[in-house]
């Protein structure tokens, strides 16, 4: 379990109207897929249903909502920026107008990121670490919003050490962002659980998550319903809530600041109980 006294706590970060006080508790990000081919089978293209799901996530305790309009599953069908924006706009607009919750947009395209921020998104979540589109770092800098930079192992050669590869990839992403003018204080890092590793290395990443604290940035992780969990418990994506809960608890114990999840109500409870064990002073528990 992470020894939090060994690592400096990043400064608070403003996302939308919410101040995220790192180290005080775990924040929960609810996943809302606006693509018809989501790996977890929860893709939505109907604006009314998307709004209802977002409202339910907020009611269940989600601290922010992450909306994506292009699948990132293995062998996904890529769409161009116009089609991605068409899907995204349909659900982002109603949710932004109805809810005050911080919204991040999951995209690797600079043009979609620009449009999303203009339309009310408060952060960008890029599964390529802002390295897939050369214009993304400049777009983030110009937008002035926080960014979640993920290490993506797909297409990369394994260097022999999971966390060494992750840290190297994230340093590359951070360098590109800061060179473009994005302040380090606006960067959140994600190790890319499930993106090109396989079950053995996914779980090794989870065990060694504390090592990401060396980067000095808040850590987000998305284990929810991933195939490595299905490999262990032999259940389809929609029936991996208990397996996901185990990974979320381990991630929090090892330093995760944000957990990205499909099953918000259940994972909020997991996060609160895990926080009670790993952050008792911050949760007002009686002696």
Q: Which residues are catalytic?
A: 226, 260
258 is written with which tokens?
């944000």
* DSSP-assigned states of every residue in 38-56: -TTS-----HHHHHHHHHH
Token pair 């944000």 is at which residue? 258
CA distance 195 to 193: 6
**And the tokens for 103?**
């919204």
Beta bridge partners of 26: none
Distance set, CA 213 to CA 18, 150, 167, 190 (Å): 23, 15, 10, 11
Which residues are within 8 A (CB) of 48 and not within 5 positions of it... i.e. 6 or more apart? 94
């Amino acid at each position: 379990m992470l020894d939090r006294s060994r690592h400096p706590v990043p400064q608070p970060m403003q996302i939308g109207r919410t101040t995220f006080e790192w180290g005080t508790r775990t924040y929960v990000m609810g996943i809302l897929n606006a693509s018809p081919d989501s790996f977890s089978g929860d893709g939505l293209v109907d604006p009314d249903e998307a709004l209802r799901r977002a409202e339910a996530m907020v009611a269940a305790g989600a601290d922010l909502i992450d909306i994506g309009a292009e699948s990132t599953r293995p062998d996904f069908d890529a769409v161009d920026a116009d089609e991605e924006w068409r899907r995204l706009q349909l659900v982002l607009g109603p949710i932004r107008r109805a809810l005050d919750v911080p919204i991040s947009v999951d995209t690797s395209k600079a043009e979609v990121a620009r449009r999303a921020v203009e339309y009310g998104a408060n952060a960008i979540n890029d599964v390529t670490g802002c390295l897939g589109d050369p214009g993304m770092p400049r777009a983030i800098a110009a937008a002035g919003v926080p960014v979640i930079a993920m290490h993506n192992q797909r297409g990369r050669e394994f260097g022999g050490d999971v966390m060494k590869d992750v840290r190297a990839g994230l340093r590359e992403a951070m360098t590109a962002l800061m060179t473009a003018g994005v302040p380090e204080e606006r960067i959140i890092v994600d190790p890319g659980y499930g993106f090109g590793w396989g079950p053995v290395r996914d779980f090794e990443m989870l065990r060694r998550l504390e090592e990401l604290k060396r980067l000095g940035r808040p850590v987000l992780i998305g284990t929810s319903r991933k195939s490595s969990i299905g490999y262990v418990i032999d259940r389809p994506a929609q029936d991996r809530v208990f397996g996901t809960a185990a990974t979320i608890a381990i991630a929090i114990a090892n330093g995760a600041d944000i957990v990205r999840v499909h099953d918000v109500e259940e994972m909020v409870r997991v996060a609160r109980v895990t926080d009670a064990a790993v952050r008792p002073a911050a949760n007002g528990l009686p002696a």
